[in-house]
Amino acid sequence: MKYYIIAGEASGDLHGSNLIKALKKTDQNARFRAWGGDMMEAAGADVVKHYRDLAFMGFAEVVMNLRTILNNLSFCKKDILNYKPDTLILIDYPGFNLRIAKWAKTQGLKIIYYISPQVWAWKENRVNTIKKCVDKMLVILPFEKAFYQKWHYDVTYVGHPLVEVIDEYSKKDAGTNNILSSIQKPLIALLPGSRKQEILKKLPVMLEVSKIFPDYQFVVAKAPGQDDNFYKELLSHYPGVKSVSGKTYDLLLHAKAALVTSGTATLETALFGVPEVVCYKGSPVSYAIAKRVINIKYISLVNLIMDKPVVKELIQHELTVENVVKELNDILNNPERIQQLGSDYQQLRDILSRGGHASDNAAKAINSFLQGEPS
């Protein structure tokens, strides 16, 4: 089989590489052409566009790079037609991939979507496009299956690919980081996000909390896209707080607890078994808009998946030093709370890894679909 895969972000490159490895197990003659990155290339794909050239965040940046985006769409369509794949596999990256899906449907291509756009949170009307254009949707969050059933669209739940990524990382020797290996105190991980504005909102609160816990070493996980000088200024008044770059998983592997901004990091922290407090704060205007357009009960993936408040979420005006101190004390020193978190985390892991690893499940589902077998 000839597969054409489109992943436009670093996470898509990671999950795409594991999918390629899994597809090779089910299809010995598999050939791959892809938009992705170094990991997909290492897995055996002929990468024609790197995700570094595709990531445009925010309205202003998209407008500024509109010509590039349109050129990328045009190139992609021509490249797909020239390659003549047996199937097109789209990985997340909805702004681009749904446009390609619409076009690909008119060309008679078989279209598989792995890792659904988060239409359950906002832009539900995108489901209509998905129903018309996507032949097979593979979802990684258990509640997504029920969400799509509401729209009379049958999807396949394969589990979450982060489980296998973290399992693999935890089994191997994570290596020693000079800063982490020299620390004698128990670690508290600070994961304030990746974008400058969200870091500026949350990290100062987290840093103030560090003053209340002198028996613990607080360590900031720096985002790869931010300059060291940016963090240097924020940390200048907190000489006891350390930082690491490119070592987030190593930090979580050793952490006693964590303060985490909302997003995928909340799920990663839970899968490492680290008690956490979820922190979110945006500008008043952004938060007001988000409350109107985003339709979800919780902001952390952990609570969304479990459909209950497993981890404490401190949102907007609730994100104060006093509240964080209270919650951090609870997950560090309350035996009942720690035991309940451990139980909930295990249940979460079981839900997300039911039936094996997501990549293997996805590869089997793709193979069955292409062979015309019932799902």
pLDDT of the residue at 370: 93
- Kindly report the length of the chain: 375
**Average pLDDT of span 170-174:** 71
Q: With 70 as the cut, is the pLDDT of residue 176 above it?
A: no
Distances (CA, A) of 143 to 147, 195, 211, 303, 352: 6, 28, 39, 11, 11
pLDDT digit string, tens, across residues 71-83: 889 999 999 999 9
Asked if 62 and 207 sit in the same domain, the reply is no
Residue position matching structure tokens 């770059």: 245
Distances (CA, A) of 87 to 44, 49, 90, 243: 17, 18, 10, 44
SS3 73: helix
Asked if 115 and 173 sit in the same domain, the reply is no
Asked if 208 and 276 sit in the same domain, the reply is yes
State CA 57 to chain mean position distance: 16
Q: How confident is the model at residue 214 (pLDDT cuts 50, 70, 90)?
A: very high
Distances (CA, A) of 195 to 19, 36, 258, 266: 28, 22, 19, 16
Asked if 145 and 181 sit in the same domain, the reply is no
Asked if 338 and 204 sit in the same domain, the reply is yes
Asked if 345 and 227 sit in the same domain, the reply is yes
pLDDT of the residue at 355: 79
pLDDT digit string, tens, across residues 6-47: 998 888 999 999 999 999 998 989 999 999 999 999 999 999
Q: With 80 as the cut, is the pLDDT of residue 63 above it?
A: no
Q: With 50 as the cut, is the pLDDT of residue 250 above it?
A: yes
% of the chain with per-residue pLDDT over 70: 90
Q: With 50 as the cut, is the pLDDT of residue 56 above it?
A: no
pLDDT of the residue at 375: 60
Give domain status of residue 64, yes or no: yes
**Average pLDDT of span 351-373:** 92
Task: With residue 208 as reference, give the H or E element that holds it.
Answer: helix 196-210
Asked if 266 and 193 sit in the same domain, the reply is yes
Q: How confident is the model at residue 59 (pLDDT cuts 50, 70, 90)?
A: very low
Asked if 123 and 206 sit in the same domain, the reply is no
pLDDT of the residue at 61: 47
Asked if 222 and 306 sit in the same domain, the reply is yes
Asked if 149 and 201 sit in the same domain, the reply is no
Comparing CA positions, the residue from 20, 41, 39 lying closest to residue 30 is 20
Q: With 60 as the cut, is the pLDDT of residue 335 above it?
A: yes
Q: With 70 as the cut, is the pLDDT of residue 283 above it?
A: no
Split into its structural domains, the chain has a count of 2
Q: With 70 as the cut, is the pLDDT of residue 125 above it?
A: yes
Single pTM value for the model: 0.88
Domain that holds residue 333: 167-352
pLDDT digit string, tens, across residues 81-115: 999 999 999 999 998 999 999 999 999 999 999 99
Give domain status of residue 375, yes or no: no
User: Whole-number mean pLDDT of the chain?
Assistant: 90
**Average pLDDT of span 52-62:** 54
Q: With 50 as the cut, is the pLDDT of residue 247 above it?
A: yes
Q: With 90 as the cut, is the pLDDT of residue 203 above it?
A: yes
pLDDT of the residue at 221: 96
Asked if 73 and 145 sit in the same domain, the reply is yes
271 neighbors 264 (Cβ within 8 angstroms): no
pLDDT of the residue at 86: 96
Asked if 248 and 342 sit in the same domain, the reply is yes
**Average pLDDT of span 48-54:** 83
pLDDT of the residue at 286: 60
Q: With 50 as the cut, is the pLDDT of residue 274 above it?
A: yes
Domain containing residue 100: CATH number: 3.40.50.2000
Q: How confident is the model at residue 57 (pLDDT cuts 50, 70, 90)?
A: very low
- What stretches of 16-140 adopt beta strand conformation (E)? 31-36, 46-50, 87-91, 111-114, 136-139
